[in-house]
Chain A
Amino acid sequence: MSKLKQNFLVMFAFLVGWGLPVQAMAQDKDIARKGDPLITQLSSDYIDVSAGFGGATIELFGDRSDADTEVAVVVEGPRREITIWKKARVMGAWVNRYFVSFQSIPVYYNYAISDVDFISNNNDFSVLHNVGTQSIFKEDKIEKSGSVEDVSVFTEELIKKRMQTGVFPEKPAKIEFLSPHFFRVSFKIPQSVPTGEYKIHTYLLKEGEVIDRAVQALSVKQVGLNAYVLRVAREHSFLYSLGCILFALLSGWFVSALRVKV
């Protein structure tokens, strides 16, 4: 009897458990039908860095229910500590003398805004959500040489250098409106792109207030032989080094064998 009851309970729980997400999905659909203020979609949620990788483009599509809004898109690569050194003469030689170290800077950064004056019109929002290259440098998250007083020179140089590598934008990407509601943005990814998990944040603003936001994840990873080499080198570095040595020994032996015959 108790067993039957138990089975019944399990079955009941199963049905309820099964039913819940269906209900939730139905609710989501309702909202979507009423008009989710913002919907975004990436053309692809991964970028494969293969042996012949020559750069790529991230394409984001979006739909806003209200045409009288502003849109901001931020693309961020994984965050790392970045140090910038300033060289100075010490006993005739130019050596790394002064440094400023930013604790958490995305290795790739790009952004797009719906109008040019966006940042000046929405300053607090921009700083809070990292819209605009300057906004990713947080003053409280730095370490520096004692004698460095003006950090901004270092920040400027860092931005300039990252721009030259193509991992920071020279100017914001353009949000292209295909209709008053439907938009598209594309971000260029250089061939020297740092790998890792990327996030694409989209914000919808009305009169300076965020009314909706969406996040998309993008995975930039090495594939094929490259990925394999990198993984083995990271996870089994001892075996990897033995492999390198074995390869070197064999090619050295091969060369000497050739020499004897020739």
Chain B
Amino acid sequence: MLIYLPIAEMTVAVEEIFLLGFFVGFVSGVFGVGGGFLTTPLLIFMGIPPAVAVGTQASQLVASGTSGVIGYWQKGYVDFYIGTIMLVGGIAGSVFGIIIFQLMQYLGQIDLVISLLYIILLGGVGGMMLFESLFSLSKAKKRSMKSEFNRFKSPSMISKLPYKIRFPRSKLYISAFVPGGIGFVSGFLVSTMGVGGGFLLIPAMIYILGMPAYLVAGTSLFQIVFTSAFATIMHAITNQSVDILLALFLIIGGVIGARFGVIASKRVNGARARVVLALIVLAVCTKVAMSLFLEPGQIFVIEI
């Protein structure tokens, strides 16, 4: 069934959008990641304008984040205090991201910026994840990733930063700049790339902040919901690039895909699944890199 997207101003096949949402939902169900890092590039490969892909993805993050955070909230696994400090940083980061986005759009280099950011982020995270999961596979110990992370102590430089605040829930006494800074990076990623950056945020919160592992996922989701809601407003106002119809089909596909993903996840080995996820991340990274570094079929690009 073909449908005309009012904001993207193009006709797409509903099935394609639905399948894309399903695939990403499945991946996120299996691995417990947001999957935004897959949606945005896949939408762009489908011909959706990058600005619309990023703007719409921000609103989709609100949906997936909400469903996640409610679960953690009910179990009491959200530190609202540190989450709010991260949120302040997240809003600043997303304003900064929107400004960069607009500037690059004006200069005609937004595709380049999005591609470069994806290559750096996906390459780095995918590589690290592959290394870590292969390492834990070879050691063949049934330790979860979270306990692996917890062995690391926060670097000493961070403890010297000013404006220290006590966070009783996370049992931390740390400068507000640290969670604020992590939030800033997350906000920047949401508004420029349409990714929640969970797979960057979660390690950062464990390694750098030293938060208890059980609070990390819920707190980062709490922060992402509000940051991406803010990014949605900014994108809708400045670029008018949030397509609610596109979001609708992505969300429906994602919901169904996630259910299947959760079922599938009960039958897979954690470390092996992470190897697969790392390979998917690296594959998307390679595809983006190829489009940037190989001679393109289309040397000329039109902008209206």
Contact = CB atoms under 8 A, between A and B. Distances in A.
A211 interface: no
A251 interface: yes
B245 interface: yes
B258 interface: yes
Nearest to B107: A96
A82 B4 contact: no
B300 A84 contact: yes
Given A85-B303, A244-B232, A252 B242 contact: no
Interface stretch (B92-100, B121-129, B151-159, B291-299): B291-299
Nearest to A55: B11
B240 to A, nearest CB: 6
A94 B293 contact: yes
A229 B4 contact: no
Contacts of B116: 93
B112 A95 contact: yes
Of A80, A86, A95, A195, chain B has the most CB atoms within 10 Å of the CB of A95
B236 A238 contact: yes
Nearest to B47: A192
A93 B292 contact: yes
B132 interface: no
B112 A241 contact: no
A147 to B, nearest CB: 15
Interface in B145-166: none
Of A50, A234, A259, chain B has the most CB atoms within 10 Å of the CB of A259
Interface string B234-266: 011100101011011001000100110000000
Interface in B1-41: 1-4, 6-7, 9-11
Contacts of B63: 247-249, 251-252, 255
A216 interface: no
Nearest to B59: A244
Interface stretch (A15-23, A56-64, A112-120, A154-162): A154-162
Contacts of A238: 233, 236-237
Contact of A245 (B62, B293, B295, B299): B62
Given A93-B112, A229-B245, A244-B59, A256 B71 contact: yes
Given A86-B299, A240-B242, A245-B59, A52 B2 contact: yes
Of A52, A107, A241, A259, chain B has the most CB atoms within 10 Å of the CB of A241
B76 interface: no
A83 B146 CA distance: 50
Interface in A227-256: 227, 229-230, 233-234, 237-238, 240-245, 247-249, 251-256
A47 interface: no
B303 A83 contact: yes
B237 A251 contact: no
Nearest to A87: B299
Contact of A242 (B9, B233, B240, B258): B233
Interface string A186-202: 00000110110000000
Contact of A249 (B11, B62, B245): B62
Nearest to B1: A52
Nearest to A153: B300
Contact of B64 (A157, A194, A245, A252): A252
Of A162, A248, A251, chain B has the most CB atoms within 10 Å of the CB of A248
A48 to B, nearest CB: 11
Interface in B85-110: 108-109
Given A94-B295, A192-B11, A238-B233, A99 B108 contact: yes
A222 interface: yes
B243 to A, nearest CB: 8
B4 A93 contact: no
Given A82-B304, A245-B62, A245-B232, A259 B4 contact: no
B296 to A, nearest CB: 5
A243 B244 contact: yes
A248 B60 contact: yes
A247 B251 CA distance: 10
A252 B244 CA distance: 15
A245 B229 contact: yes
B10 to A, nearest CB: 5
Given A161-B302, A191-B11, A253-B66, A87 B6 contact: no
A208 interface: no
Contacts of B71: 256, 259
Interface string B189-229: 00000000000000000000000000000000000010001
B232 A252 contact: no
30 contacts: A53-B4, A86-B300, A92-B293, A94-B293, A96-B108, A96-B109, A96-B111, A107-B304, A226-B6, A229-B7, A229-B245, A233-B242, A237-B236, A240-B242, A244-B59, A247-B247, A248-B66, A249-B66, A251-B63, A251-B67, A252-B64, A252-B65, A252-B66, A252-B70, A253-B66, A253-B67, A254-B67, A255-B258, A256-B67, A262-B259
Given A237-B240, A240-B244, A241-B237, 14 more contacts: A54-B2, A83-B303, A85-B108, A107-B304, A191-B4, A222-B4, A229-B6, A229-B7, A229-B244, A234-B240, A241-B236, A248-B229, A252-B66, A255-B63
